[in-house]
Structure formats: C-alpha cells, structure tokens
Structure 1
Amino acid sequence: MTVASVLSSNTGPAPVIDTKDDSAASYWASRLKVSPEEIAHAVSKVGPSVAAVRRYLGK
C-alpha cells in the first residue's frame, strides 16, 4: 500500500493508526507533518485513535 493508493481509495484510511503497518504509519506521518517515530511515540502514549494522536501532537 502506498500513500497514493490510500489517498485515491474510496474508503480512506482507518480511524486508527496501525504502527505495525509501515505504509499506514508513513501516511499519517506525512499527513500530520511529523516523523513516523513521532507517530509511534504518540500511539504508545495515547493509543491508535487518529483523533487522540492529533490532540497529543497538537495537530
């Protein structure tokens, strides 16, 4: 899965971030303008909810 395929899919990304899926972590890192490591750290602190990760990162 690539960022382009996620962006072009009708269903869009899941409302949770799967940090075990490199393409999903990369997608959300790109989308939130942070590194994949920052995504992983945020998920470890607040869980995989996109909304919670956004709040944690101040996005």
Structure 2
Amino acid sequence: MAALAYVINPFDVIPDTIPVLGFTDDATAIFAALKTIEKYITKEHKKKAEEAMLDYEG
C-alpha cells in the first residue's frame, strides 16, 4: 500500500519532470513492493495467471 501511495503521490523525492531520472524512484518503490509480496506468490498463483493470460489471448 505504501508503494502505491508513493507512486501516485504528486510529491516525489525526484520530480517526474526530470527525464528518465524522475521515474527511477517510482520504479524502485514498485520493485520493492514486488519483492516484498514475492514470497506469498505460489506456483499455483503463477499457473492460474498464465492460464488467464492464455485465455485472454485467445
């Protein structure tokens, strides 16, 4: 939740108006959130996600 709040917050550590560099702090927040929840994602979750994507394509 904190990562999402940081990404949508209009006040960043590095302003998004700075080309390329402005989005690195947002990307870091998202990466940290994904690494935090990674331990809760099981093989079954990954399988269901893959099946959903195959259904979406077809």
Fold match by TM threshold 0.5: no
* Structure label with greater radius of gyration: 2
Q: Which has the higher helix share?
A: 2
